[in-house]
């Protein structure tokens, strides 16, 4: 398979890769089509020509990835098999998805397994928090940011390196790398950055190494007891289906903004159809 991440100057390579793959029966993956708006018209014509071109190898396949954008060719979508992915809604669903990808070996294969497991849960909970805050609109973030799984994966990698290489837990380094670089690299608003770092300090702290350390004033959300992977999954299953604004550090009235925003989005979608 040929994989090309689209961007400036990549249109020539992408076109050639498709032509070669049609002839040789290979697969082509074009990533981030939304970053190359000027080439979308050419891509549309290439896909339309598939029906008229003879001699295309039966094993040829073209895969495209893109963020939702209004300039992506409609005819290309209509002629494709489509799959969409989006973060699960709610902290419980988000945490279930995250811990479904972990294995017991992942939690054990470190020099400080007890600390590692506690902080893995903490950073995973933080990841769910920053994603779910978007649903509150301007009350959550001044600007909506597309935090994704790569932010969490990078943070976990750096966490493991720090724990394995340092005798003491380098809290300041963890906060800087995770807050300013991994997640903060997406943040453009100063107040949002301050909010992000303040939220992260709740999960990257020595208190989070204790059992039952509260993540919310009510104590509904807390750091579970250290144990095997299955014990964390059982704890996540017991989390509420509907998240209270308190876990995000917001007033109860924040739900009004979320419900209005959700309703407006639903109505707008119906009207657009």
**For the structural domain made of 91-264, what CATH number should be given?**
1.10.8.720
Task: Report yes or no: 245 and 255 within 8 Å, Cβ to Cβ.
Answer: yes
Distance CA 52, CA 55 (A): 10
Per-residue confidence of the chain (273 residues) as pLDDT tens digits? 888 888 888 888 999 999 988 888 899 999 989 888 888 999 899 888 888 777 788 899 999 999 888 889 888 888 889 888 776 788 999 999 999 999 999 988 888 989 999 999 999 999 999 999 988 888 889 998 888 888 999 999 999 999 988 889 999 999 999 999 999 988 999 999 999 999 999 999 999 999 899 999 888 999 999 889 999 999 999 999 888 899 998 888 888 888 888 898 889 989 988
Distance CA 174, CA 165 (A): 13
4 sits in which H/E element: strand 2-5
The domain ranges of the chain are: 2-78, 91-264
3-class secondary structure per residue, 210-251: CCCCECCCCCCCECCCCCCHHHHHHHHHCCCCCCCHHHHCCC
Question: Is 86 strand, coil or helix?
Answer: coil
Distance CA 219, CA 265 (A): 32
Domain boundaries 2-78, CATH class: alpha beta
């Amino acid at each position: 398979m040929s994989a090309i991440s689209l961007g400036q100057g990549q249109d020539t390579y992408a076109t050639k890769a498709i032509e070669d793959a049609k002839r040789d029966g290979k697969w082509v993956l074009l990533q981030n089509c939304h970053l190359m708006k000027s080439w979308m018209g050419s891509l549309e014509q290439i896909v339309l020509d598939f029906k008229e071109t003879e001699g295309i190898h039966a094993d040829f396949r073209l895969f495209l990835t893109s963020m939702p954008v209004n300039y992506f060719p409609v005819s290309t979508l209509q002629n494709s098999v489509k799959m969409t992915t989006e973060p699960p809604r709610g902290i419980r669903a988000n945490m279930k998805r995250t811990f479904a990808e972990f294995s017991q070996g992942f939690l054990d294969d470190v020099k400080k397994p007890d600390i590692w497991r506690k902080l893995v849960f903490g950073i995973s909970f933080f990841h769910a928090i920053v994603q779910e805050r978007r649903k509150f609109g301007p009350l959550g973030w001044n600007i909506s940011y597309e935090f994704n799984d790569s932010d969490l994966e990078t943070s976990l990698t750096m966490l493991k390196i720090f724990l394995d290489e340092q005798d003491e837990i380098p809290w300041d380094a963890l906060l800087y790398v995770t807050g300013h670089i991994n997640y903060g690299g997406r943040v453009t608003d100063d107040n949002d950055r301050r909010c992000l770092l303040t939220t992260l300090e709740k999960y990257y702290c020595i208190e989070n190494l204790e059992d039952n350390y509260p993540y919310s004033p009510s104590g509904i959300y807390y750091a579970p007891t250290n144990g095997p992977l299955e014990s964390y999954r059982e704890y996540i299953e017991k989390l509420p289906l509907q998240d209270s604004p308190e876990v995000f550090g917001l007033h109860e009235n924040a739900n009004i903004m979320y419900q209005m925003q959700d309703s407006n989005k639903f109505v707008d979608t119906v009207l657009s159809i």
